[in-house]
Amino acid sequence: MDVSYPIRPVGNAELPAFGQVSDHAFNSSIAPAKMLEFDLLVIEPERTLVAFDGDRAVGTTLAFSFGLTVPGGDAVGAAGISGVSVLPTHRRRGILSALMRRQLADIAAGSEPVAALFASESAIYGRYGYGAAADQHAFTFNRGDGRLRPLPARAGHPAETPTLRLAEPKSAVAEMKAVYEAVRPTRPGMLTRHDGWWESSVADPESLRQGNSPLRCVIAEDQSGPRGYALYAAKPDWGRDGMPAQVLFVRELFWTDPSAAAALWADLLSRDLVTEVRTRMRPADDPIQHLLADPRRTRTRVSDGLWIRIIDLPEAMARRRYSCSVDLVIEVADSLLPANEGRWRLVAGGLADDSKPACERTSADADITLPVAALGAAYLGGTRLGGLQAAGQVAEHRPGALAELSAAMWWDPAPWSPMMF
């Protein structure tokens, strides 16, 4: 059903009305004034969209302007979609679809070649051309399960084990930024973080702690500077029988070398009084899985992380690098952004080739047919196309073409988008 609810951006003065829709839709427990305080750190009012029923806001979405690391290290412009909500009284009338169509058209009229989002539910966004592109892992470690193997001496990491220093997060932003910026170009999926995002990532009001300790930071460093950090909080619990039973939540953990990763994990997984360590939004290739002496004891849950929507297909495909050389024709279906539809010849060298990949229209026969959502899923190098073919979403017309494209798009390290927005 198409809807006749007018849609327009709102200014700062109308952000409380935007917030009310989200509060109802997400069943938020955060006080609206506190939420607005956080929102104002990062929201770009001109990139909001609100659907109105009369003068009442009933549907919302917004976009953040990010740089998204793609395979090869380039940071491409990415619209980070968030704040998607429709009032419970107005659901299933097509308001989300109307907002998505308008938002995609707005982004396509600008210069960002991709859009990205985290989905509250994984059934929602495929229909708008988004594909799940960066799986993430949640780990739970019981006490005693976090014993690490010794690092081999020859693994190309600085021999020196870093020193660990506890710091108050708000006063350690410079060190955290240095680590984050060292990691960002190396990991597809990571996003630029401006000062507002840093402020919001270390914001720690007591009203939102839910009984946890204040947010704390441990920095791994040596005389050359910071080599890693973790942000964490713990829930103090002395147990009913006098046995301490604290849970430690690791909110962020970044490392620049294996010794720093090992030192941070070893510290957090062996803290006194803690019986359980939990962390989520970890990369699919998190080194902790190889550092542990007995990795099977970890409880792991895999879920979809960042979703990617290709907005400008030739630009997006030419801005990333490919793991091996490839020359084939893909036929793409995209009913919402028809400029992406049709046949494209992708020509790219492998890792040793410095020339820019090319993706140009062609009338040649297609080697592979796929929907734009499948291309989005594979874009950051973490989704094998064979699985999508087995599920009937991708079709191969020349034997071997699918394996060629899949191998070329696959990337090491795995995509990881650790910043929720």
Ligand X SMILES: CC(C)(COP(=O)(O)OP(=O)(O)OC[C@H]1O[C@@H](n2cnc3c(N)ncnc32)[C@H](O)[C@@H]1OP(=O)(O)O)[C@@H](O)C(=O)NCCC(=O)NCCS
Residues that bind ligand X (CB under 6 A): 25-26, 84-86, 91-97, 119-121, 123-124, 127
CB of 9 vs ligand X, minimal distance in Å = 18
Is 38 among the residues known to form the active site?
Answer: no
Q: 120 vs 335, which CB is nearer to ligand X?
A: 120
Q: How far is CA 121 from CA 84, 85, 118, 206, 307, in A?
A: 12, 12, 9, 29, 12
Take residue 268 and report the two structure tokens written for it: 């957090």
Q: How far apart are CA 301 and CA 269, in angstroms?
A: 18
Q: 26 vs 238, which CB is nearer to ligand X?
A: 26
CB of 99 vs ligand X, minimal distance in Å = 8
DSSP 353-380: --SPPEEEE--SPPSEEEEHHHHHHHHT
Take residue 99 and report the two structure tokens written for it: 């907002």
Q: 62 vs 96, which CB is nearer to ligand X?
A: 96
Amino acid (1-letter code) at residue 157: H
Residue of 125, 130, 141, 254 marked catalytic: 125
Q: 132 vs 217, which CB is nearer to ligand X?
A: 132
Q: How far apart are CA 61 and CA 117, in angstroms?
A: 11
DSSP 129-169: T-EEEEEEEEEEEETTTTPBPPPPTTSSS-SSPPEEEEE-G
Amino acid (1-letter code) at residue 385: L
Q: How far is CA 171 from CA 62, 202, 216, 217, 230, in A?
A: 30, 10, 11, 10, 14
Take residue 328 and report the two structure tokens written for it: 């084939």
Q: 92 vs 240, which CB is nearer to ligand X?
A: 92
Q: 97 vs 275, which CB is nearer to ligand X?
A: 97
Quick check: bond before 413 cis, omega within 30?
yes
CB of 336 vs ligand X, minimal distance in Å = 12
Is 421 among the residues known to form the active site?
Answer: yes
- b or e along 114-144 (b: 16 or more beta carbons within 10 Å of the residue's beta carbon)? bbbbbbeeeeebbebbbbbbbbbbebebebe
Long-range contacts of 147-151 (CB under 8 A, 24+ apart): 147/269, 147/292, 147/293, 147/294, 148/262, 148/265, 148/266, 148/269, 148/291, 148/292, 148/293, 149/291, 149/292, 149/293, 151/258, 151/259, 151/262, 151/291
Q: 27 vs 210, which CB is nearer to ligand X?
A: 27
Q: Which sequence positions are flagged as catalytic?
A: 125, 421
